[in-house]
């Protein structure tokens, strides 16, 4: 397939390389030069702009950091909808707000494009090891088309329903994972302050009902500082959604306050 990838960051680059390694033609774009050089060396085509990616591709994957970047790349005047062929498929891997995904769905319909709502979980490590988990929302025929492409980076593909539902699920996921980080940070803080070695605290937690992926990888992976603004954005969007729904998330409010001191 003729594929495109916009956003070759710590997670996007290995996802793109997995697609390229599966034998697909791939056109990539990023504002940084270093990942473009890696893509070029791997046999990919470096595009001069987002518009060039759109014109060269049947399916384009987007993995950028902020709401503004997502909107600009996908629905802006120099973006994918504006310059792609009729029926172009745009797969959004970026975690955005419920409002933003709703706006993108409307923009896709107006442009005659197909939007796949596909936030991912696993980070750079999951992409590199091909153990990513996908939450995907969209029309069945487009999801079927994209399924083998998703599987180049992971086997867990959870279909959540129509476009927009995957983003809602990802926000719930982010509240839960950041809650796990808070719990592990405080458990570790308590155990160490009481005189236990950090390795022993980790063994105790991973050996009991408190075990989790966060606990098992604590000390092995370093997420800060690049993860903090992403988590902050996701918590803000989750709390905004909760407010719109008329529910309270007091734990998420605490996570937001403690974020800078709990993310490893």
188/220 same-domain check: yes
Shared domain for 133 and 198, answered yes or no, is no
Check pLDDT > 90 for residue 222.
Answer: no
pLDDT tens-digit map of 127-149: 999 999 999 999 999 999 999 99
- Asked if pLDDT for residue 236 goes beyond 90, the answer is yes
| pLDDT tops 90 at residue 42 | yes
Catalytic residue among 99, 159, 170, 222: 170
66 and 140 housed in the same domain: yes
> In this structure, are 36 and 127 located in the same domain?
yes
pLDDT of residue 244: 97
Q: Quick one: 152 and 52 in the same domain?
A: yes
- Residues with Cβ within 8 Å of 183's Cβ and at least 6 positions away in sequence, in order, are 210
**Number of folded domains in the chain?**
2
**Percent of the chain, pLDDT > 90?**
97
Q: Which one-letter DSSP state was computed for residue 87?
A: T
Residues 25 and 90 in one domain: yes
143 plus 258 within the same structural domain: no
Residue 67 in this model has a pLDDT that exceeds 90: yes
CATH classification at residue 104? 3.40.50.720
Write the CATH number for 239. Answer: 1.10.1040.10
Instruction: Please give the average per-residue pLDDT across 197-208, as a whole number.
Output: 98
What is the predicted pLDDT for the residue at 224? 85
pLDDT at 226 over 90: no
Residue matched to tokens 């719109």 = 244
Per-residue pLDDT for 154 more than 90?
yes
Residues 142 and 192 in one domain: no
pLDDT of residue 247 exceeding 90: yes
Helix (H) or strand (E) holding 193: helix 165-193
- In the listed set 107, 131, 161, which residue is the last one of a domain according to the structure? 161
- d(CA 83, CA 225) in angstroms, rounded, equals 35
- 170 is known as an active-site residue: yes
Residue that is last in its domain, among 106, 131, 161: 161
Whether pLDDT at 29 is above 90: yes
Q: What would the mean pLDDT of 152-172 be, rounded to a whole number? A: 98
Q: How many angstroms separate the CA atoms of 203 and 199, rounded?
A: 6
> How many whole angstroms separate alpha carbon 114 and alpha carbon 211?
40
Residues 143 and 178 in one domain: no
* Co-location of 27 and 113 in the same domain: yes
Q: Judge if 71 and 98 occupy the same domain.
A: yes
pLDDT band at 94 (very low <50, low <70, confident <90, very high): very high
Q: Give the burial string for 89-128 (b: 16+ CB within 10 Å, else e).
A: bbbbbbbbbbebbebbbebbeebebbbbbbbbbbbbebbb
Domain boundary among 115, 135, 161: 161
Number of helices and strands in the chain (H, E): 13, 9
List the domain range (segments joined by +) for residue 191.
Answer: 169-262
**Stretch 146-171: mean pLDDT:** 98
**Banded pLDDT at 178 (limits 50, 70, 90):** very high
Statement to judge: residues 77 and 42 lie in one domain:
yes
Model confidence band, residue 8 (pLDDT cutoffs 50, 70, 90): very high
Q: In the predicted model, what is the mean pLDDT of the chain?
A: 97
pLDDT exceeds cutoff 90 at 215: yes
Q: How confident is the model at residue 257 (pLDDT cuts 50, 70, 90)?
A: very high
pLDDT digits (tens, 9 = 90+) for 111-122: 999 999 999 999
């Amino acid at each position: 397939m003729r594929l495109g990838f916009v956003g070759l960051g710590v997670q996007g680059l290995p996802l793109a390389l997995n697609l390229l390694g599966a034998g697909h033609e791939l056109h990539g774009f990023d504002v940084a030069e270093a990942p473009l050089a890696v893509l070029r060396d791997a046999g990919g085509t470096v595009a001069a702009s987002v518009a060039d990616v759109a014109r060269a591709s049947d399916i384009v994957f987007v993995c950028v950091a902020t709401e503004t970047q997502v909107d600009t790349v996908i629905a802006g005047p120099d973006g994918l909808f504006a310059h792609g062929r009729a029926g172009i498929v745009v797969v959004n891997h970026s975690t955005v707000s419920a409002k933003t995904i709703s706006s993108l769905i409307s923009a896709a319909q107006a442009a005659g494009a197909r939007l796949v709502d596909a936030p991912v979980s696993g980070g750079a490590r999951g992409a590199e090891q091909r153990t990513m988990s996908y939450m995907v929302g969209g029309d069945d025929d487009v999801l079927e088309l994209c399924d083998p492409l998703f599987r180049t980076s992971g086997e867990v593909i959870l279909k959540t329903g129509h476009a927009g539902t995957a983003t809602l699920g990802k926000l719930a996921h982010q509240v839960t994972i950041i809650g796990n980080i808070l719990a592990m940070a405080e458990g570790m803080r308590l155990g160490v302050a009481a005189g236990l070695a950090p390795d022993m605290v980790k063994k105790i937690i991973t050996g009991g009902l408190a075990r989790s992926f966060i606990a098992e990888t604590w000390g092995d992976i370093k997420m800060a500082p690049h993860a903090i603004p992403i988590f902050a954005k996701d918590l803000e969007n989750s709390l905004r959604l909760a407010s719109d729904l008329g529910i309270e998330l007091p734990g998420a409010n605490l996570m937001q306050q403690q974020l800078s001191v709990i993310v490893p």
